[in-house]
Structure 1
Amino acid sequence: MPSRAVIVDRDGESDPEDWDSAVLYDGESPSHFPDRVLVRDPLAERLRRSSPELRSEETGGGLTLFAPGPVRPL
C-alpha cells in the first residue's frame, strides 16, 4: 500500500498523533500545521477545502505538497 502522507515538522508545531485522524481515518486536519505535508487524494482535496489559506503545489505522481507559507524546497 502506498504512503498516504508525509508530515515534515521541524519546529514541532504539531504532535505526530494529531495527524492520525486525518491521514488514517479520513477525519479532520489538526489546527496546527507543520512545515510541510505531502499527501495523495482524497486527503489533498480535503485539505484544499478545509484550509484554503495553505499554499499547495502539485509534485507529480499524484502527490500534493502543502505548506502554511510559500512552498520552498526542503
Structure 2
Amino acid sequence: MGINNVDLAAARAQGVVVTNTPGANSASVAELTIGLLLNLLRPIQQAASETRLEWLAAPNELSRWWAKRSDW
C-alpha cells in the first residue's frame, strides 16, 4: 500500500498523522488467507452456523438459556 497516494500536505493541514508500518499486519493477513483457503475446502463456518441455528431451535432448557445470553 504505502503512502505514495496520500496527500501528505492536506493530511498535515487537517491534523491527520500519516504513518507507514510495512509488514506490521503480515501475520494477520497470512492467518486470514489460510483460514479462507481452509474454508473453501471444508465449509466449517457454514456448518457451525447451521448447527448453532438447529441447536437454538431445539426445544430444550439449555438452548433457551443460551439464546438469552448469546449475541449471535
Please tell me the TM-score bracket, short chain as reference: under 0.3
Q: Name the larger-Rg structure.
A: 2
- State the TM-score, normalized to the length of structure 1: 0.21
Q: Which has the higher strand share?
A: 1
Q: Which has the higher helix share?
A: 2
